[in-house]
Chain A
Amino acid sequence: MAQYVKNEEFAEWRCDKCNCELELKKVVVSYLEGSFPVDLPVCKKCGQVFIPESLAIHKMLEIEQQMEDK
């Protein structure tokens, strides 16, 4: 299972709704005809996901572009 987010990238963030810390957990991400599990920070209580900026603008963009060419 791919893990793209380091602990220090979400250590300062908490879920505001649940006032709860985040933990890395398996989350399914999908695009076009593909989906795969990734370890992402989520609220321990409600499961709200946190995508850091660097993940979105680098790795996720790269994977999106690869999948668009399949």
Chain B
Amino acid sequence: MDQQKLRLLESYCIQEEAPACIAACPMHMDVRLLLRQLRDHDMDGAFKTYRKSIPFPSILSRICEEPCQKKCRLSEIGEGISIRALESFLFSRSNSSALPTMLPQKNKKVAFLGSGLDALAAAYDLRRKGYITKIYEPASSAGGFLKNVSETILPSQIIDDTCSLLIKMGIELNLSQHTTGSSALQIIDSGKFKIQDDEFICVYISGNLEINRIDQITRMTETSGIFGGTAAPESWIEQAADGRRAAISMDRYIQNVSMTASRSDEGSYETRLFTSLTSVPPSHTFIRNSQTIPDEDTAIQEAARCIQCTCMECAKGCEFIRHYEAYPRVYLRQVYNNVSICTGLRQKNNMINSCSVCGQCESVCPNKLNFHDVIRETRQTMVETKKMPPSAFDFALRDMIFSNSDAFMVAKSPEGHKVCSFVFFPGCQLSASNPAAVEKVYALLLEKFSDSTGLLLRCCGIIADWAGEKEKFQQARNELLQEVESLGNPELIVGCPGCMQTFRNFYPALKIRSLWTILDQMDIHSKQHETIQTFAIHDPCGARYQPEVQDAVRSLAKKIGIQLEELPLNRDQTSCCTYGGNAWNANRSLSDAAVDALAAENPHDYLTYCAMCRDFFLKRGKNAYHILDLFFDPERIISGKAMPRPDYSMRHENRSRLKKHLLKKYWSEEMNASAPYEKIKLFISEEVRSVLEERMILVEDLQQVLYQTLETGNRMVNAQTGHYLTHATPGHVTYWIEYLPKNDGYQIFTAYSHRMFIEEAN
């Protein structure tokens, strides 16, 4: 990802865009923050927020037209927040005579002809920047059109008090100057301006009628150095904003820097921020009379109505996005920086490897930001530059190697056929979770397709793609394609939604069909059962954008008597169980939290059609079923008894046994002799087995270590317990095993591992 792509992708994430109220306010007062502070009883903080953007709180809290309220999203379903009333409440309890902070005085003078709200606002801003500021007003009092506002709304005393404050700030206010507008001005040779006996670098003419052409961005007139206000103001707040815009230009003019750079966000605009109102109840204002100052309780109640507009659509179903407490715009920058770092710690490695790469964020994003491909590409870069932490996906990759080894891999046409029209591809994890169901499905398919269905057992390769291992993925892909070719290019009947998605994305030439669609059409349970149980359906992330698969499973469920409830995010927007992206391997605590959050979305047992989703739910104590668990064993629908979840070692064993059974049953073949270490018999208690599971140590790892070390006699012995301790490094990991010989095998007391290499003397 280069800088250009980073900026483009960042622009898709609109979380940092202003909410509608702030965008509508021409002064961009931070309404959202002010309301939050007020809601949280932080009155001083709220007034500070108001004061930071608004020059004359006493005046504007009385006469602002509240463009913020009109644009408040709550007004779409009820009434917008009465923000001006809350501002007048905040002003009423503040110290109105406090002077704002000011920069030290500069020896540069600016003049104002007229004293309308625009001029007062500009004079206030420039005085704060340290300019010597003088106002020349023809009338006997300041304020211009402000004086036309009804006394009940804006008492003249308020205008007088504001003028006193300006004088206290050091602004020279010259009243009754009987000159009209620009006729008082003399332009002198140096390009400066002369009014009476003073020379000024630039001049502002308030609401002057003689000005025909003012640049709307800079508010400079055709005469360089002369700036102007609004002749016929549409609104008071716009007038104050015009003054502020001119003050920024005058400051830049004096400093001789660009007056037009970076000004696109000034003034009112339509925000790009998306905020869902789906779960927001309509509400109405607590402010009955907008011209009276509300009491504190009412003000707080009103502020508490604010929904604090934000997008965060992607966080709603994604524990990963919630966990790192930001949003894709921030994550994109962190990912970019992490990859670009030359020295020091790559602190975001774990974050990058914890994403499920499932595509949910893109499916729910208002701008369809594709963050998961950034993660995929970043992992590929990490692998290419040898910066991928070896432990991140090692266990998952070893599982893929197992699936594509002789221990599981099968590619066969039906006996007596060289080629076949169909081949059943159950996927590696369905075979690991429920091998009996795979056998039953295969028998059904042989029956349906008159013995023309072959069998293809292996991993689709997605594990390698998730791990950023492009070459390993290509190798797995090529092997699979060769096997399909050797079977006569049959159509694949796929039993795993994740494999389906992998084939669609990366194997466009393969002919594929979903097992669920076939089962649904078979009408095995043709006589529809009465509804006997309700489950919540969880769509696996692999089924995203596969409506025919989503529909077929729902139809099948109905046929076997299951009524379904939908989860808040389902079908194309479904959440991943964290098997996706190998996230469970890289960050187990985040994986557990994600599954727990997903499991809590509905009190019913879950029905799914991905073996890993089922097993991840079961692991976290949520009763869950794979649809095949119920399809072949409808008794479970009534008993509510889920199938046992196999641990990692059992997942290997199940796959090997499945291969053995099927080879024998359909091809009368014996499996190749297993490795000699597999003959070592182990006795492992449930307790130790769960320690092994937690530490991702497989039974076959222990067998390999014992096989390597029993002959050498390299081991320690404990004088108290008599237990032996031995270790070996069959691959990249060193395993330690505490054991005792028992009967014809060995009892295991504990095992642990490390990846560090110990340079031993022997």
Interface residues of A (CB under 8 A from B): 12-17, 22, 27-32, 35, 40, 42, 46-51, 53, 56-57, 60-61, 63-66, 68-70
CB pair A42 B761 closer than 8 Å? yes
Q: Are B754 and A60 in contact (CB under 8 A)?
A: yes
| Cα separation A68 to B721 with both chains bound (whole Å) | 37
Candidates A13, A32, A51; contact of B758 at CB < 8 Å: A51
Contact residues in A for B676 (Cβ distance below 8 Å)? none
- Check B391–A64 contact: CB distance below 8 A: yes
- Residue B724 at the A interface, CB < 8 A? yes
Surface stretch bound by A, among B243-251, B345-353, B412-420: B345-353
Q: Which residues of chain A are near B753, meaning CB under 8 Å? A: 56
28 contacts between A and B (CB under 8 A): A12-B718, A12-B719, A13-B716, A13-B717, A13-B718, A14-B716, A14-B719, A16-B715, A16-B717, A17-B714, A27-B760, A35-B759, A46-B762, A48-B714, A48-B762, A50-B716, A50-B725, A51-B754, A56-B736, A56-B752, A57-B695, A65-B391, A66-B345, A68-B390, A68-B392, A69-B347, A69-B349, A70-B346
Q: A17 and B715 in contact (CB under 8 A), knowing A46-B762, A69-B349?
A: yes
Most chain A beta-carbon contacts within 10 A, residue among B714, B721, B750:
B714
- CA gap between A16 and B754 in the complex, in Å: 22
Given the interface contacts A46-B762, A47-B760, A69-B389, does A64 sit within 8 Å of B755 by beta carbon? Answer: yes
Provide the residues of chain A in CB contact with B720, threshold 8 Å: 12
- Quick check: A17 and B713 within 8 Å, CB to CB? yes
Chain B contacts of A14 at CB under 8 A? 716-717, 719
Interface status of B756 (Cβ within 8 A of chain A): yes
Give the residues in chain A near B349, CB-CB below 8 Å: 68-69
B736 and A53 form a contact (CB under 8 A)? yes
- For the complex, would chain A's binding face be called helix, strand, loop or mixed by DSSP majority? mixed
Q: Out of B345, B721, B752, name the residue touching A57 (CB < 8 Å).
A: B752
B718-734 contacts to A, CB under 8 A, are: 718-721, 724-725, 727, 734
In whole angstroms, what is the CA distance A47 to B714 when docked? Answer: 11
How far is it, in angstroms, between the C-alpha of A51 and the C-alpha of B756 when the chains are bound?
Answer: 11
Say if the beta carbon of B757 comes within 8 Å of chain A. yes
Residue among A28, A31, A48, A50 having the largest count of chain B Cβ atoms under 10 Å: A48
Q: Which of B345, B716, B721, B756 contacts A30 (CB 8 A)?
A: B756
A34: min CB distance to chain B, Å = 10
**Chain A residue at smallest Cβ distance from B716:** A13
Q: Report the minimal beta-carbon distance from B30 to chain A, rounded to whole angstroms.
A: 37
Name the distance in Å between B409's Cβ and chain A's nearest Cβ. 31
Q: Is the CB of B758 within 8 A of A48?
A: no
Report which of A27, A35, A64 forms a contact with B754, defined as CB distance below 8 A: A64
Query: Is the CB–CB distance between A69 and B759 below 8 Å?
Result: no
Residues of B within 8 A of A57 (CB): 695, 752
Report Cα–Cα, A15/B221, bound state, in Å: 93
Chain B residues within 8 Å of A35, by CB: 759
Across-interface contacts of A49 in B (CB, < 8 A): 758, 760
Smallest CB gap from A33: residue in B: B386
Nearest-neighbour CB distance to chain A for B713, whole angstroms, equals 5
Q: Which residues of chain B come closer than 8 Å to A48, judged between CB atoms?
A: 714, 716, 760-762
The answer to whether B757 touches A56, judged by C-beta atoms less than 8 angstroms apart, is no
A66 to B725, CA, bound (A): 28
Q: How far is the CA of A57 from the CA of B762 in the complex (A)?
A: 24
In angstroms, how far is the closest chain B Cβ from the Cβ of A36? 10
Pair A63/B756 contact, Cβ less than 8 Å? yes
A13 B715 Cβ-Cβ under 8 A? no
15 additional contacts (CB under 8 A) given A13-B716, A48-B714, A65-B389? A16-B713, A16-B724, A27-B758, A28-B759, A42-B761, A48-B762, A50-B725, A51-B734, A53-B736, A56-B752, A56-B754, A61-B754, A65-B391, A69-B346, A69-B349
Kindly provide the distance from the CB of A14 to the nearest chain B CB, expressed in whole angstroms.
Answer: 6
Q: Give the distance in Å from the alpha carbon of A30 to the alpha carbon of B392 in the complex.
A: 18
By beta carbon, the residue of chain A nearest B721 is A12
Least CB distance from B103 to A in Å reads: 45
Q: Which B residues are in CB contact (< 8 Å) with A69?
A: 345-347, 349-350, 389
Residue of B nearest to A54 (CB): B752
Q: By the criterion CB–CB under 8 Å, are B716 and A15 in contact? A: yes
Q: How far is the CA of A48 from the CA of B720 in the complex (A)?
A: 20
Instruction: Tell me if B727 and A51 are in contact (CB < 8 A).
Output: yes
Given contacts A13-B717, A30-B756, A56-B752, contact A47 B390 (CB under 8 A): no
Beta-carbon contacts under 8 Å, B688-730 to A = 695, 713-721, 724-725, 727
- A contact residues around B758 at 8 Å (CB): 27, 29, 40, 49, 51
Contact of A47 with B761 in the complex, beta carbons under 8 Å:
yes
B755 proximity list for chain A (CB < 8 A) = 31, 64
Q: Which residue of chain A is the closest to B734 with respect to CB atoms? A: A51
Q: How far is the CB of B702 from chain A (nearest CB, A)?
A: 15
Distance between Cα atoms of A35 and B718 in the complex (Å): 30
Which A residues touch B736, using CB under 8 A? 51, 53, 56
Are the C-beta atoms of A70 and B760 separated by less than 8 Å? no
Q: In angstroms, how far is the closest chain A Cβ from the Cβ of B717?
A: 4
Name the residue on B nearest A41 (C-beta): B716
Residue in B349, B716, B717, B753 whose Cβ sees the most chain A Cβ within 10 Å: B716
Q: Give the distance in Å from the alpha carbon of A31 to the alpha carbon of B630 in the complex.
A: 48
Within the complex, the shortest CB–CB distance from B587 to chain A, in Å, comes to 11
Q: Which residues of B contact A64 (CB under 8 A)?
A: 391, 754-756
Residue among B719, B724, B754 facing the most chain A CB atoms (10 A cut-off)? B754
B752 contacts which chain A residues (CB < 8 A)?
53, 56-57
Shortest CB–CB separation between residue B388 and chain A, in angstroms?
9
By beta carbon, the residue of chain B nearest A36 is: B756
Q: Which residues of B contact A70 (CB under 8 A)?
A: 345-346
Closest A-B pairs by Cβ, 7 of them: A47-B761, A68-B389, A16-B717, A28-B759, A31-B756, A60-B754, A56-B754
In whole Å, how far is B351's beta carbon from the nearest beta carbon of chain A?
11
Q: How far is the CA of A47 from the CA of B759 in the complex (A)?
A: 10
Residues on B with beta carbons closer than 8 Å to the beta carbon of A68: 349, 389-392
Kindly list chain B residues whose C-beta atoms are within 8 Å of the C-beta of A42.
760-761
Nearest CB in chain B to that of A11: its residue: B719
**C-alpha gap A43/B526 in the complex (Å):** 71
* Contact A60:B716 (CB < 8 A) given known A13-B725, A48-B762: no
Give bound CA distance, A66 to B350, whole Å. 11
Residues of B contacting A12 in the complex (Cβ-Cβ under 8 angstroms): 718-721
User: What is the CA–CA distance of A48 and B727 in the complex, to the nearest angstrom?
Assistant: 10
Which residue from A15, A29, A47, A53 sits with its C-beta under 8 Å from B757? Answer: A29
Contact across chains for B759 and A30 when beta carbons are under 8 A apart: yes
Cβ contacts under 8 Å, B756 to chain A = 29-31, 60, 63-64
Within 8 A of A (CB), among B378-417: 389-392
User: Can you name the residue of chain B whose Cβ is closest to the Cβ of A14?
Assistant: B717
Specify which chain A residues have a CB less than 8 angstroms from the CB of B345 in the assembled complex. Answer: 66, 69-70
Report the separation of the CA atoms of residues A14 and B755 in the bound assembly, to the nearest whole angstrom. Answer: 24
* Residues of B close to A22: CB separation below 8 A: 716
Cα-based distance from A26 to B349 in the complex (angstroms): 32
Q: Could you tell me the distance in whole angstroms from the C-beta of B344 to the nearest C-beta in chain A?
A: 8
